[in-house]
Structure formats: structure tokens, C-alpha cells
Amino acid sequence: MSQLDPTSRQSVKAPNFVIQVFTHRLFWPVVGLILLWVACGIALPGSDTAPGFWSITMMDGHLFGQIIDILRAAAPILLLALGMCLVIATGGIDLSVGAVMALSSSVSLSYLISSPTRETLPTVLIAIGLGLLTGLVVGLFNGTMVARLKIQPFIATLIIMVAGRGVAFAFTGGRIESVVSPPFKFLGSGFVLSLPTQVVIVTIVAAIVMISVRMSALGVLVESIGVNRQASFLAGVPASSILMLVYGLCGLLAGLAGMIYVAPTMATNANAIGLMLELDAILCVVLGGTALSGGKFYLSGTVVGALLVATLPKAVIYFGFPMQITPLFKGLVILIICIAQSQTLRDQFARRSLRRSVALAEGSPS
């Protein structure tokens, strides 16, 4: 319940604006992202033959560049992380999203493969609808387990994490099949307003989620469940319905992420799609300053976290390291950011600045 602990905030209210910026939840993630991007810029300065990290070129009305690539890679992760953020805010966790991605994309592509009119828009829309429906159903299943049956979220969603990929496998018959369908592929490699389609979709979805959560009471209700489900229940918060909504939304977004993830290759692969992405999504949320214990959540921080997580594997390549070092690099970055924003260090920082301000006040009594 670190984010509920008021001491760190209150004790540093006195000194000045700089301290407030330093102790802001978003400070370390944003600094991490900026440092990483600056380092990437230095590692990849660009030349006449190869564009640099920061260069963005316009080709046939489409934007290309490393940053655009990172945005593209961040799209599915961010979709997962948005739903995950709300789930974590209720004090829960959703381990099933990676398996849901595999499941929804398998359902959707299996329908496309079986359909003779797979290149027409209506069929593709039905396929996408089926995929989204799959995600929603799984999400509602998780919600029922957590809200109605009161099963711990970790274990409730672990069931789908274990079984979901098996179901997806049964759906595709264990084969890796690809299908040609230009409208579907547009999801993954098309451009809208000279930006990649998935980036536009995710931006719109993120905006809708943020606005609807923060402009209404929903966000506060979600937080109240995460802070104290009993108290919020006694205060009249319809905890069960909100939990259903949140888990359903998480599943739905995971379904959408599955479509977007699979669209560039259009190949069913129940084994590899979304593998371990649930951990990446949780990571985005935590790097964004939301505590796993529930309560306050930061969707904007989650966006920063998703960009950070999407940049890491690419940064390894820019720096000229072998690809396989990526997890090590990732682990170190998590370690550093988590320790930097840990309560222990924040308290120490706050105490030191408080001591300094006290010393200052004693030195020059007003």
C-alpha cells in the first residue's frame, strides 16, 4: 500500500517544485524512457546510408522510422497493459491475456481460413468480431471467477493461462497456417493518416479508456475496490459488476491485441503468439508507477511503461549487443527502475530533503 502512504508526499510538500517533480510517480519511468531514447540516438546517429534513431521519413505518404517502429511494437503491449492496469487497480491480476491473444487470433484466423469469401470486408469484420467476442467471453469468465466466486485473481486467471493455449491449439489443429486477406492485413501493415493502423487504433482505444475512466466516477470506483473492497462494498459500490466490467474489458482488449499482433504475418501459431506477453503487460503497469497491491492507478504511466518495454529489445540491437542478451538488459532496467521508485528510497530521499529544509529554516528564522 505504498502509494497510500502519505508521508512521502506530505513531508516533501514544503521545499519546492523540483522536489515535487523528483518524487512524482511518473518521474522515474519518464527519465528512464528519455535516457534510453537518448542513448539509442547516440548509438544510432544515422548516416547517409542508414537513417538514425530519431529520423522519421515520409514515403508515399507513410511515415517510417525507428520511433514509428517502436510505436508499432508498443501497440499490442499497450492494449494489454491498459486492461491490466485497471485490473491491477482493483487489486487483482490477469495472467490470461497472453493466452487470450493466442485464442482470439486462432478463432479469428480459423474462421477466415474456413471462409471462401475471406477477402471481402464483411467476412473480415465478422472474423474480427469473433476474435473480440472470444476475448470478451474469456474476460467475463475471469470476472465471474473473481467477482462472483471470490477466487483469487492470480489463480483464477492462471487457469486460462494454462488451458487457453491448449484450446487455441485444438482450434488450429496444432498447424501453423497462413491466410491471405488484404482487409485483415490492413490492421497490421496498413496506414491511416500516414501512421500505422495499429498505432491509430491503439491511440483511439487508449483515449477512449482514459477519458471514460477519468471523466466518470468509474476510475474512483475501481480504485476504491483496490484500496478496500469491504469498505467500498459497504459504501454502496457495486463491486461485483465493476470487477466483471474490468475483467471483461481486459479480455476484450487482449482479444484486440491478438488481432493486431497476428495481422502482419496472418499466421496461426498457438504456441508463440502472445507468449509471456502477460508479464510484459504487468511490467508496463508497474513501471508506470501503479502498485500491484491495487488502489491508485496511472494510465498515462502505463503508456510510458509500454513505450519503455517496447524500446528495450530494439535498444539492445542498436547498442550492438547480441539479441539473446535482451532479457538480461530487461531485467537490469526493471531492477533499477523498481529500486529507484521503491518506497524505501523515496522515504530516504524525502527524509534527507526534509532535513535539509529544516536545517535551512533553522539557519534563517523568518
Partner 1 sequence: MSSALQWINRAGAWGVKYGKVLFASRFLPVIGTLATLVIMLIFGQIRYSGRMGYSFVSLPVLTALLQNNAYLIVLAIGMTFVILSGGIDLSVGAVVALTTVVIARLLPVGVPLGITLIIAVLVGTAMGLLIGVMVQSFGIQPFIASLAVLFLARGLSNVIGVDENGVVRSLAIVHEGFAKLASWSIKFGEGRAIWRINASVLIAIAVLIIAYLVLHHTRFGRTVYGIGQGDNGMAAGLMGLNPERSKIAIYMISGTCAGIAGVLFALFMQTGFCQHGIGMELDAIAAVVIGGTLLAGGSGFVLGSAAGVLVYGLIFVFIPREGLDATWSRIFMGVILLLFVLLQRAITVRGEKRSAGHGAKKPQLASKKASIDEGHRDNRTEVNDE
Binding footprint of partner 1 on the chain (CB under 8 A): 1-2, 90-93, 145, 149-156, 158-167, 169-170, 174, 225-226, 228-230, 233, 270, 276, 279, 282-283, 286, 291-294, 322, 324-332, 334-335, 338-339, 342-345
Q: Extract the runs of DSSP E, i.e. beta strands, from the chain.
A: 56-59, 62-65, 191-192, 195-196
Virtual torsion, Cα 281, 286, 287, 288, nearest 10 deg: 90
> At its nearest, how many Å lie between partner 1 and the CB of residue 195?
31
> At its nearest, how many Å lie between partner 1 and the CB of residue 71?
23
**DSSP SS3 for 363:** helix
Q: Which is nearer to partner 1, 191 or 329 (CB)?
A: 329
* DSSP code, position 323: G
Cα separation, 296 vs 309, in Å, equals: 21
Q: Which is nearer to partner 1, 158 or 200 (CB)?
A: 158
Cα separation, 103 vs 138, in Å, equals: 9
208 HSE (CA, 13 A, CB side): 10
The Cα angle at residue 43 between residues 39 and 45, in degrees rounded to 5: 110
Q: Which is nearer to partner 1, 187 or 308 (CB)?
A: 308
Q: Which is nearer to partner 1, 167 or 200 (CB)?
A: 167
Q: Which is nearer to partner 1, 18 or 276 (CB)?
A: 276
Q: Which is nearer to partner 1, 194 or 343 (CB)?
A: 343
Amino acid at 282: I
Cα separation, 203 vs 194, in Å, equals: 14
> At its nearest, how many Å lie between partner 1 and the CB of residue 118?
25
Cα separation, 136 vs 282, in Å, equals: 19
> At its nearest, how many Å lie between partner 1 and the CB of residue 252?
21
